[in-house]
Amino acid sequence: MRRYTYLWLMQLVTGVLIAVLLGIHMVMQHLEDILRFFGVNLNDPASWNSMIERSRQVIWAGIYIALLAVVLYHALNGLRNVILELTPSARTERVVTWAILAFGIIIFVWASYVPIALLSR
C-alpha cells in the first residue's frame, strides 16, 4: 500500500514541478512576442547562437535535466496506469512495469548526455 501511495503522490508532485519548469520552457520558446510586449527581450531562443550561449551555462543544463527527469517519471507512470487498466493479469503487470522502468532509465541516460557534453564545448 505504501508503494502505490508514494507512486501516486510523486505523480502529483512531478505534475506541479512540470507545470512550473515546462511553463518556463514553453513561455521562452513560444510566447516571446508577448514577452517583448512586456519589455523582456529574449533574442530568438531557437537560433543557434542563443542556444550555444545557454548550453554553456550550468543553470540551464540543470533545468533541462531536471525537466527531463520529472517529465519522464510523470509520463511513464501515466502510461503504466493506462496500460494496467487494460491488462489485469498479475504477470503482465510485472512485465509492463519492468519494461517501462528500463525504457525510462535508458531514455534519461541518453538524453541527459547531450546537455552535459555541451557544457564543456
Interacting residue ranges for another protein, rule: CB under 8 A: 1-2, 4-9, 12, 15-16, 18-19, 22-23, 26, 30-34, 46, 48, 51, 55, 68, 71, 75-76, 78-79, 81-82, 84-86, 88, 93, 107, 110-111, 113-114, 117-118
Shortest distance in whole angstroms from residue 2 CB to another protein: 6
Chain centre distance of CA 82: 19
Closest CA to 96 of 88, 49, 25, 8: 88
Nearer to another protein by C-beta: 7 or 58?
7
Alpha-carbon distance of 45 to 59, in angstroms, equals 16
Shortest distance in whole angstroms from residue 48 CB to another protein: 5
Nearer to another protein by C-beta: 18 or 63?
18
Alpha-carbon distance of 113 to 66, in angstroms, equals 13
- Which of helix, strand or coil describes residue 55? helix
Nearer to another protein by C-beta: 35 or 58?
35
Shortest distance in whole angstroms from residue 5 CB to another protein: 4
Alpha-helical (H) ranges within 1-121 are: 2-30, 32-37, 48-55, 58-86, 90-119
